[in-house]
């Protein structure tokens, strides 16, 4: 890296220390630079700065540091607003630009004295440079592992086109994917059954990805696909059914998938319902990816890996947008070579909290299709469906042939404001968004409030009990607590039924917000709502734990069987006083068991070490959940995390009603929609042209 340093090592280190003091870097980032510089005293200032930023970017969800982007806007890399009146900050940014510009002028050359620290991939240096992308080696390795594993699966995918029972396959495909009822608007246009196409393609692939927005039928598609695969397997050998596992990134997402899978199984065609053997081997139990892989406490390691692979033939993963780079690499490493991997997800939702945007990278070309002519001929011959010629690409990549985007939403009807708003936000169409607010949609409400003390906020959140045919609110489950409380001497079944009704009612409404801290974040809103409810005497917050307090589990607790994202309600419950040998009231937190039984678990608050109040929930934490009524509250000031993907994710959490609440800034949603998430990474960035038949 032949540069003429504009600053010395000590100056670079001082600069990084100042950034860490200002909160622009983490102490972890600074510690990494100090460690590497101690190992290689000749570490150049440019590499010191770039290493700290690479580590920092991981904390922001980026897999690597795009040096070219940093040169274009170094202030943005540090997620700060460039204050031209701050000479110290201006000088810091100039130092950074000068150092990286000198490195760029040398075409990102790696000097011999830096060889222990950085190379282009071979060896075991802590840093890897690929073109202008700088990685910590572990994350570079994750990307290569994912690429290699997927490419191997594409190469090993089996065609059904020349299968001796192709006619029988078509018959089953037609039976499993009959024409679906369409809305009036859809019936007047030529509609392609993308669910059927996804089922056909996935049935002949060891790797398939099915993406689509809410209500496009991802779960329905995969259940019918599993029936198809299992039917074929049992036809070949009735004693050797496929071993199928279902998984999701979080406990909440797993529970929701389990509920959806169970409902979809009940709607399978008659020939499946009549075949008890086939029905018995279509699973409806869903686990988390951590449990599937066998997470080992206090380590990043799993019990299942390349030398101890999972015992399965088919793995279905839902909510693929929530899977981070490290987890995807771990899943692919633990899959046996013969197994099929089927990933479901909405490519337009928020990416994972951890580093990487795996689904987004894999699906970046999904909307345009890029199907090869031979793929389209096979699809049309096999399914009878017509593919729009605009989705054909003679230069389509092998990966493109294994990704299907479901394009017809059956959740949001033609007159759904939520559906139209989600589509407008997703495309960044501010003009259509403005027009939507002028229409009187039955499922869409907007409130521009001056502050949180506006009385309308209380009406939105609480509703008016017992008014009918209106969006549910927080007060609904609290009303059940007060009016249907079993007596102290009631049996456990009575308390279980009461708790179940409360939890189900609570799940109908959720206030979502963007931030963790501040008056418009989780902490401020939870306190504000507690105060409002206490003033109405709906709760009595005497200490941290009180009846009616909803809590969110924030970390997996395998001993208690609780997963990150699980929600429970604190309720009065009979406890035995050993001293007096009598029953008395105590507090327990009720959770619905996520094992398909829907039974209630009662857990003492003292055992819940990782939980928080959840009157308000961040949009990030809401992924994998849906609510009858979702109230989305936006802050008054722009924030780097306010993006199109965040707004889209929040909007699509609402199933029947959405209330958008803007505080003292009616334009905040438009400002957010113009910003998109740009995560740095190199997954399939080179568009590797491996060959595979389709």
Peptide bond into 320 cis (omega under 30): no
pLDDT value of position 6: 62
What is the rounded distance in angstroms from the CA atom of residue 333 to the CA atom of residue 145?
Answer: 8
Residue at 186 is within a domain: no
| Whether 539 and 618 share a structural domain | yes
What is the rounded distance in angstroms from the CA atom of residue 102 to the CA atom of residue 4?
Answer: 7
User: What CATH number corresponds to the domain at position 42?
Assistant: 1.10.10.1020
Answer yes or no: is pLDDT of 515 > 80.
yes
Answer yes or no: is pLDDT of 142 > 90.
yes
pLDDT above 90 as % of the chain: 37
Residue at 291 is within a domain: yes
Mean pLDDT of all residues belonging to the chain: 85
| Whether 351 and 477 share a structural domain | no
Enclosing domain of residue 522: 417-553+610-674
| Other CB atoms within 10 A of residue 411 CB | 16
Residue at 562 is within a domain: no
Tell me the mean pLDDT in the region 57-64.
87
Annotated binding site: 212-219
pLDDT 10s digits, 269-328: 877 877 888 888 888 888 889 889 988 877 788 899 999 999 999 999 999 988 999 999
Residue at 126 is within a domain: yes
Answer yes or no: is pLDDT of 654 > 80.
yes
| Whether 393 and 439 share a structural domain | no
| Whether 423 and 546 share a structural domain | yes
Distances (CA, A) of 183 to 36, 187, 268, 409: 62, 6, 21, 10
Answer yes or no: is pLDDT of 631 > 80.
yes
| Whether 422 and 400 share a structural domain | no
- Domain count along the chain: 3
Beta bridge partners of 602: 590
pLDDT 10s digits, 106-139: 777 888 888 899 998 888 999 999 988 999 999 9
pLDDT 10s digits, 74-95: 777 776 554 555 667 667 777 7
| Whether 370 and 290 share a structural domain | yes
Residue at 197 is within a domain: yes
| Whether 116 and 145 share a structural domain | no
pLDDT level of residue 694 (50, 70, 90 thresholds):
very low
Annotated binding site for ATP: 212-219
Domain end among 373, 406, 439: 406
Nearest residue to 665 via CA among 514, 494, 510? 514
| Whether 429 and 359 share a structural domain | no
The C-alpha R_g of the chain, in whole angstroms, comes to 27
| Whether 379 and 482 share a structural domain | no
| Whether 22 and 145 share a structural domain | no
Residue at 602 is within a domain: no
Q: In terms of pLDDT, which residue wins out, 225 or 470?
A: 225
Is residue 70 within 8 A of residue 77, CB to CB? The reply is yes
pLDDT value of position 642: 86
| Whether 540 and 401 share a structural domain | no
Tell me the mean pLDDT in the region 625-633.
91
pLDDT value of position 182: 56
User: What CATH number corresponds to the domain at position 382?
Assistant: 3.40.50.300
Burial (Cβ within 10 Å: 0-12, 13-18, ≥19) of residue 224: buried
Residue at 121 is within a domain: yes
Is residue 552 within 8 A of residue 614, CB to CB? The reply is yes
pTM over 0.95: no
Domain end among 406, 430, 453: 406
pLDDT 10s digits, 354-378: 777 888 889 989 989 999 999 999 9
Residue at 575 is within a domain: no
| Whether 389 and 434 share a structural domain | no
């Amino acid at each position: 890296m032949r540069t003429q340093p504009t600053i010395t090592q000590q100056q670079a280190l001082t600069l990084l220390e100042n950034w860490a003091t200002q909160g622009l870097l983490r102490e972890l980032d600074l510690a990494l630079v100090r460690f590497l510089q101690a190992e290689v005293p000749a570490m150049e200032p440019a590499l010191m700065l770039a290493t700290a930023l690479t580590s920092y970017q991981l904390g922001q969800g980026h897999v690597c540091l795009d040096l070219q982007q940093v040169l274009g806007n170094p202030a943005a890399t540090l997620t700060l607003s460039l204050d031209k009146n701050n000479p110290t900050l201006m000088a810091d940014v100039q130092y950074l630009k000068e150092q990286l510009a000198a490195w760029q002028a040398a075409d990102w050359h790696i000097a011999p004295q830096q060889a222990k620290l950085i190379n282009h991939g071979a060896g075991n240096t802590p840093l890897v440079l690929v073109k202008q992308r700088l990685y910590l080696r572990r994350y570079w390795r994750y990307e290569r592992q994912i690429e290699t594993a997927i490419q191997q699966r594409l190469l090993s995918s089996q065609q059904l086109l020349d299968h001796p029972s192709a006619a029988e396959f078509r018959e089953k495909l037609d039976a499993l994917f009959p024409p679906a009822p369409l809305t009036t608007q859809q019936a007047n246009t030529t509609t392609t059954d993308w669910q059927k196409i996804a089922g056909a393609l996935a049935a002949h692939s060891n790797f398939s990805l099915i993406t689509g927005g809410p209500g496009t039928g991802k779960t329905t598609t995969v259940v019918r696909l599993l029936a198809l695969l299992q039917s074929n397997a049992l036809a070949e050998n009735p004693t050797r059914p496929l071993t199928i596992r279902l998984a999701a990134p979080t406990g909440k997402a797993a529970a929701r998938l389990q509920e959806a899978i169970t409902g979809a199984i009940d709607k399978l065609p008659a020939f499946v319902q009549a075949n008890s053997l086939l029905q018995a081997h279509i699973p409806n139990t869903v686990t988390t990816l951590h449990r599937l892989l066998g997470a080992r406490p206090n380590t990043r390691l799993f019990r299942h890996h390349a030398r101890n692979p999972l015992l399965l033939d088919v793995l279905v993963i839902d909510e693929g947008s929530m899977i981070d780079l490290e987890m995807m690499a771990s899943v692919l490493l633990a899959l046996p070579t013969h197994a099929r991997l089927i990933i479901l997800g909405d490519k337009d939702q928020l990416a994972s909290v951890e580093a990487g945007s795996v689904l987004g990278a894999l699906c970046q070309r999904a909307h345009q299709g890029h199907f090869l002519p031979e793929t389209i001929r096979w699809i049309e011959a096999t399914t009878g469906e017509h593919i729009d010629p605009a989705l054909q690409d003679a230069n389509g990549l092998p990966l493109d042939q294994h990704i299907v985007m479901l394009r017809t939403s059956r959740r949001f009807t033609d007159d759904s404001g939520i559906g139209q708003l989600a589509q407008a936000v997703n495309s960044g169409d501010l003009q259509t968004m403005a027009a939507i607010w002028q229409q009187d949609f039955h499922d869409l409400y907007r409130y521009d409030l001056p502050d949180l003390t506006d009385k309308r906020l209380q009406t939105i959140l609480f509703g008016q009990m017992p008014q009918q045919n209106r969006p549910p609110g927080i007060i609904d489950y609290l009303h059940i607590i007060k009016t249907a409380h079993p007596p102290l001497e009631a049996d456990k079944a009575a308390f279980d039924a009461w708790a179940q009704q409360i939890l189900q009612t609570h799940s109908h409404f959720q206030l979502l917000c963007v931030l963790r801290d501040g008056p418009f974040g989780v902490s401020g809103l939870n306190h504000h709502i507690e105060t409002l409810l206490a003033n109405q005497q709906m709760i009595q917050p005497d200490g941290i734990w009180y009846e009616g307090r909803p809590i969110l589990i924030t970390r997996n607790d395998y001993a208690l069987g609780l997963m990150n994202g699980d929600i429970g309600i604190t309720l009065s419950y009979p406890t035995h006083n050993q001293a007096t040998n009598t029953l008395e009231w105590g507090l327990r937190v009720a959770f619905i068991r996520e094992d398909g039984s829907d039974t209630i678990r009662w857990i003492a608050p003292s055992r819940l070490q990782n939980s928080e109040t959840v009157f308000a929930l961040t949009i990030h934490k809401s992924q994998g959940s849906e609510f009858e009524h979702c109230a989305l509250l936006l802050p008054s000031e722009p924030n780097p995390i306010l993006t199109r993907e965040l707004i889209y994710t929040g909007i699509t959490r609402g199933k029947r009603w959405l209330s958008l609440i803007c505080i003292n800034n009616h334009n905040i949603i438009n400002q957010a929609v113009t910003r998109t998430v740009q995560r740095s990474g190199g997954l399939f960035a080179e568009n590797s042209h491996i060959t595979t038949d389709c």
